[in-house]
Amino acid sequence: DLAWINGRTSSSSAAIRATLPMVLATRAVHPSSSPEIFLGYPALQPAQPGRRTGAGTSGPKQRHCFSQQAAALAAAAAAARTATTSSRLAGGNAKFSSARARRHSAGLVGLSCGGGTSAAAAAATTTLGAEAEDGAAAAVVEVLPDGGVLPSEDEAQEEETRTAEAEDSANRVARSMDLLEQYTAQKHPGHQPGRFQGPGPEFDGMEFDGMRWRMKQEAEDGQRSASTALARMSEADRSLATRFEAEGGLALCLGHAFSRPERLRREARRILEAVDNGTVDQLEEVEDPELEAALEDLHTAKLGMHLQLLEGASPMERGVLLMHAADVMEEREAVMRNVWSDVEFHGGAESNAELVSQLERQFASQLVRTADARLKAKAEAKQRSEKDQQRPDEDEVAEPSAVATAAAAVAGAAAAATAARTPAESDSERKTESEGSAREADGIFDLALRGSEAEELAQRLPEEELTETLLEPRNLGVALDLVGVYLKNYEIDKADLVINRVVPLCRRRGGTWLVKALDKLSAVRMKQFRAYEALTALREIEQVVPFAPEEGWEFHDILYRNLAWCYSALDEAERCLEYTRKSVEVKKSCGIPATWFDIWDLGKAHARIGQKTKQREEMKMAYDLCLKAAEIHRTAEPHDRIMLAKILSNIGEVAMGVGDSFHLDGQDDEARPWYEKAEPSLEESYRLHFEALGPLKPLAGWAAGTMAHCLVRLERWEDARRYLAMALKVECTKDSQTPGSVIELIDRVLGVHNRLGQLQTMAEYATDFNECLAGLRSRGWEERERDVFALLLQKIATVLLASDSGTGNMIPKALEKLKEAETNLNILLGGLSSGARVYYSNEDKLNSDVEVQFNREGAAEVAAKKFGPQVENAAELLQEIQSTIRILELGKQGYSPAVDFRPENAGYADQNFTQPMENTPSASTPRGNLTELDDAAALAMTYAVAGNWNDWSAFAELRRNAEDKFEAEIEVPENVDVIEFQVICNGDWNQRIFPVANGAAIGGPSAGGHGQNWRLRAATGCKILRVSFDPTGRRRLDFSLHAVSPSVVVGR
């Protein structure tokens, strides 16, 4: 056991099984980068730990009530197959949509199994009622003599595919429902103080009442009373313990930690000093409850062998054994430490910030104490060595010198013992380690703990001594615990600094230290939207665990849940469901029933897959599962408000997904009730996040953004604007932002302001944008994703121009952003042309600060993907930006753009003014704008208009008049509320002409421009759209909507 805990061997699987579940974060799995649909907010919150009671979770097992619904799904699938066969034989009047209409999607709010504000989920959440894809012809049907319709072969094949998918869905649901045949209404295993082992000695003097911690008034055997403990504490510790009593009180103070090992050391010192002084005969037995409790803990630490050896041992042997046992107990307590990580941080923004600050000061003070103890021990050892060299007879002083050395080691707080336990390294290995951790400023001492005692310590100690101080078990354990604190409070930059510093040290120690460090590393990487690196770390954990799932279900339950979270973030919905089931199965095989957590996870997984495969009934089942999970959680774990808020958010998101599925089928009357169902859950989720964390935390921001999705669907534009404003402020100021996540929110904000006719008020976001860009630059995003960063700059420039109100004051600021975008794209394209490696995404390149040893081939099962808004054709984006720059520079000189943009004619909410360029090259596609062609070439082309009034299925020709303008009048059906169109050159969709720069200029002809349409709202009685296009010179397009008689100009 000693060898294993020191990282040398793995001989004791029992000790490993007992320890490893305590070092993994039992977090609620929420992906931070879902490429589609619902759940995208980062929710890497460690769940409330707890103690397992009896053989499994206590409380009655309940028969699962969803199996009947699963059977109904299977029956429905069989009926569908029968109906399909009958329809094909007898014909019918079924109406088949075209392939283009089936491809049309309205960017649903998506669900993934796992949590965060993600660029991927954000990018997929576009508009309701977006334009259909272009150019697909309607399906051809054959009319039978009796008036029935015989499906074509393609349609029949598609119908068979849909039926097969329905059967797959029913089978998928039935398998999951079998796992939930029995479930418990009690807490999830491990979700109580102390997790699976119960509260440690840090909580001596504290008691948990089911909701909060309180100080005990009376001491129990082996424990100090709260009043006694407080009396021994410093003023800073007393303040922390009393101010945050409910969060853990005495346990939060590091002066109260490691008390059992320290008690063993004091006893060892007493014995060894007696041996050294020759007063062993005067030693008396000490009756001390703390010492007895510490000796009893040797059994828990798998050190029963030490107790056996202590019986009959000589005083010197007893002292040395106690010292060694104290070292091992301290290391075990340190590696299993989660005291700070398990704090729920529900006190609101101000209270949480104060608590984090006090915990940082606690760690800084401990670092100073251990560093000073190390220096003192080294100085005393040097003095003894010099004194021993002066002794004439080495034999006479050998034993006393050894005892004195051992006593000095104890006085140095195990410093010498730790150095002796660390495996020997060659000079080259030590040099490599030192170089690996060297930097301009130490990530922990100088940066994360800046302004504390630790920063001063870094100034007076060499790098090697700082590393050895941090390598002390108690410091390494607290550092990892602090990472959990930072993650819960979304201080991702600090979490990154600390984890980068300690992972190499944990790798040096090996064993459980490595497992815990890799787990924390995966959590940080997920918060940073680096899911491939997180998956690699988790896969390495799988490699180093030396026991099977059935030998340690607690550990594998958590590991499988975290892997499911990773796969969800990588858009691997099937793998997410696979590992979610594994998490349930590993417990079931050991007689542990499913809990609300499992019901919730399975619900999320099925909602995600159901949406991707268009299986509405599966999504409804998922909705019921999430409702059930929330119902159980409210009573089983009522103190965990953040977890409840996450479940409620998922309930609302799944409901919106069901509503969207009806909307896409044209059943808006069926869609609205689902949107109305979503609102109460989403509103409560936002309120809980707001109250527990504060308005500017990422979870609160994501909840606000999700609420806005629902309000847009309910067409409550002003309410949606307020929630989006909060979401955008959080997204622009948080640590874990990405360009893609900000782009998505800007598009949504633009759309809602457009719908309200309040584009001018968007100037209020300028400060947030500046802070956002500064944060992204500080994290290197302009180098990681130059093209996407350029797209973000273009979006911000669009907002600035839209808010200008015609004064021109925003033009210089917009030009500044556009020129920075131009520079980034030129650098990117220059690198590509020179053959240099260009990283489009941070996922393309593993972070070099922390090496993950697991072979990358282990993660090769997941194909490389790009999430969030992408720029498929950087050259075309550059061309568009340069064109806008030229127009704006003319504007600074008093030039008025040829095309006006009037807010009152803007399209519906959530529209995108500028989409990423599409890369569909064509030999006939001109490489530049028409402004670069001569007038003769421009006039030689043919032009037509395509629009949404006929589902983009036919062109209306623009005829050339005597003034060399191309004109057309198109009759628009009365049921079209928002008219959208583009101009097509030579009848080729790869030669589109479309508005750019918020309508200030004309782009194309090119294959890009999907979604960039001229838009105007239809007025009552107006049926004729008149379009006039002048392709010569600067180019100009005018459009207006008219009644049959006198005209009413609506747009230009």
Pick from 55-69, 775-789, 870-884, 1031-1045: least confident: 55-69
Q: Tens digits of per-residue pLDDT, 730-773?
A: 999 888 788 999 999 999 999 999 999 888 888 889 889 999 99
**Top-confidence residue, 180 or 454:** 180
- The full 3-state SS of 310-373, as one line of letters, equals HCCCCHHHHHHHHHHHHHHHHHHHHHCCCCCCCCCCCCCHHHHHHHHHHHHHHHHHHHHHHHHH
Pick from 86-90, 351-355, 451-455, 665-669: least confident: 86-90
Q: Tens digits of per-residue pLDDT, 397-447?
A: 444 444 454 544 444 434 433 333 333 343 434 333 434 444 457 778 877
Q: Tens digits of per-residue pLDDT, 123-142?
A: 332 222 222 233 333 334 45
**Mean pLDDT on 1031-1039:** 86
> Which of 127-131, 704-708, 753-757, 1044-1048 has maximum average pLDDT?
704-708
| pLDDT at 989 exceeding the cut of 80 | yes
Q: Tens digits of per-residue pLDDT, 947-972?
A: 988 888 888 999 999 888 999 999 88
| Alpha carbon separation from 719 to 393, 425, 683, 1028 (Å, rounded) | 89, 63, 12, 38
**Mean pLDDT on 661-668:** 92
**Mean pLDDT on 325-351:** 87
| pLDDT at 245 exceeding the cut of 80 | yes
**Mean pLDDT on 528-534:** 85
**Top-confidence residue, 69 or 732:** 732
Pick from 104-118, 535-549, 989-1003: least confident: 104-118
| pLDDT at 606 exceeding the cut of 70 | yes
| DSSP reduced 3-state for 978 | strand
Structure tokens at 24: 């993994």
Q: How many CB atoms lie within 10 A of CB 619?
A: 29
Which pLDDT score is estimated for 151? Answer: 64
Q: Which of 689, 611, 542 is nearest to 38 (CA)?
A: 611
Element (H, E) at 996: strand 992-996
CB 486 within 8 A of CB 359: no
| pLDDT at 322 exceeding the cut of 50 | yes
Q: How many CB atoms lie within 10 A of CB 961?
A: 10
**Mean pLDDT on 664-678:** 94
pTM of the model: 0.67
CB 785 within 8 A of CB 842: yes
Dist CA 65 CA 628 (whole Å) = 10
DSSP 202-271: GGTTEEE-SSSEEE-SS--TT---HHHHHHHS-HHHHHHHHHTTTTTGGGG-GGGTTHHHHHHHHHHHHH
**Top-confidence residue, 315 or 632:** 632
Dist CA 350 CA 694 (whole Å) = 8
Dist CA 169 CA 173 (whole Å) = 6
The rounded percent of the chain whose pLDDT value lies above 90 is 28
Q: Tens digits of per-residue pLDDT, 581-593?
A: 999 999 998 889 9
Provide the mean pLDDT of the chain: 73
Which pLDDT score is estimated for 409? Answer: 44
| pLDDT at 214 exceeding the cut of 50 | yes
Dist CA 1032 CA 1036 (whole Å) = 8
Which pLDDT score is estimated for 747? Answer: 92
H-helix segments, 53-192: 67-90, 99-103, 119-124, 153-179
**Top-confidence residue, 42 or 619:** 619
| pLDDT at 57 exceeding the cut of 50 | no
**Top-confidence residue, 865 or 740:** 740
Dist CA 813 CA 49 (whole Å) = 50
| pLDDT at 877 exceeding the cut of 70 | yes
Residue 538 is given by DSSP the state: H
Q: Tens digits of per-residue pLDDT, 298-319?
A: 766 666 666 667 777 788 888 8
Q: How many CB atoms lie within 10 A of CB 812?
A: 11
CB 644 within 8 A of CB 634: yes
Q: Tens digits of per-residue pLDDT, 10-49?
A: 334 454 455 556 666 544 333 333 322 333 322 222 222 2
Which pLDDT score is estimated for 742? Answer: 93
Which pLDDT score is estimated for 714? Answer: 94
**147 pLDDT band (50/70/90 cuts)?**
low
Structure tokens at 196: 């699976």
**Top-confidence residue, 669 or 869:** 669
Dist CA 650 CA 622 (whole Å) = 10
Helices (H) and strands (E) in the chain, counts: 37, 16
> Which of 25-34, 551-560, 714-723 has maximum average pLDDT?
714-723
Residue 131 is given by DSSP the state: P
Structure tokens at 299: 């059994």
Which pLDDT score is estimated for 796? Answer: 94
**Top-confidence residue, 525 or 1002:** 525
Which pLDDT score is estimated for 701? Answer: 92
| pLDDT at 694 exceeding the cut of 80 | yes
| pLDDT at 834 exceeding the cut of 90 | no
- Nearby residues of 831 by Cβ (< 8 Å), 6 or more positions away: 837, 838
End-to-end CA distance of the chain: 80
| pLDDT at 5 exceeding the cut of 60 | no
| pLDDT at 577 exceeding the cut of 90 | yes
